[in-house]
Amino acid sequence: MKLIRVLFLPLLMATSGAWAQGPSYQVGVNGLSCPFCAYGIEKQIHKLDGVKQVKVDIGKGQVVISMDDDRTLEEAQVEAAVKRSGFSLRSFEQSQERVEK
């Protein structure tokens, strides 16, 4: 039984999204009300070190950011990126939600 666990645990870890990614963040953005304007915010956040995936939800006015393994984000970094894209930060919190590929 122990042998089976040793053999299959790495396989389970590799195929699990939870093991393959770092933390996720949910970012509330004010002023976001047009799909065409959303590209800029996606581009700015992608420039941040360690960002793996970005998903902009215009309807909710929020951005979900998934990080590479062992990488984290500071609120100040995200606030600056949101500002560079021409919008305003409303909220910033760690999230269980992940960006679907």
Partner 1 sequence: MKYLSFFPILLLQAAIMSQAWAAPVTFNTALPISEGVFLYRQQLRWQSSADDPSGMNREMDAQVAISVLGYGINSKLAVFGVVPWVDKSLEMTVNGNAIERDNRGMGDAKVFARYTFWQDDAQGRTFRAAAFGGLTAPTGKDDETDRFGRLPPSLQNGSGTWNGFGGVVATWQSMNFEIDGEISYEENREANNFEAGDESRLNFSWQRWYWPSDSSRDAGFLYGVEFNWLHRGQNKVGGQKEANSGGDTLWLAPTLQYVTQRYILEMALQKPVVQDLNGTALENDLIAITSVRFIF
Residues sharing a CB contact under 8 Å with residue 49, sequence separation 6 or more, in sequence order = 71
Asked whether position 56 contacts partner 1 by CB under 8 A, the answer is: yes
Nearest to 57 by CA among 70, 73, 71, 42: 42
Of the candidate residues 25, 27, 44, 98, the single one contacting partner 1 (CB under 8 A) = 44
Question: What percentage of the chain's residues is helix, strand, coil (to nearest 5)?
Answer: 40, 30, 35
The window from 5-13, 18-26, 41-49, 71-79 that contacts partner 1 (CB under 8 A) reads 41-49
Give yes or no for residue 79 binding partner 1 (CB under 8 A). Answer: no
DSSP letter assigned to residue 68: P
| Contact between 84 and partner 1 per CB under 8 A | yes
Q: Which residues bind partner 1 (CB under 8 A)?
A: 28, 30-44, 56-59, 61, 83-88, 90
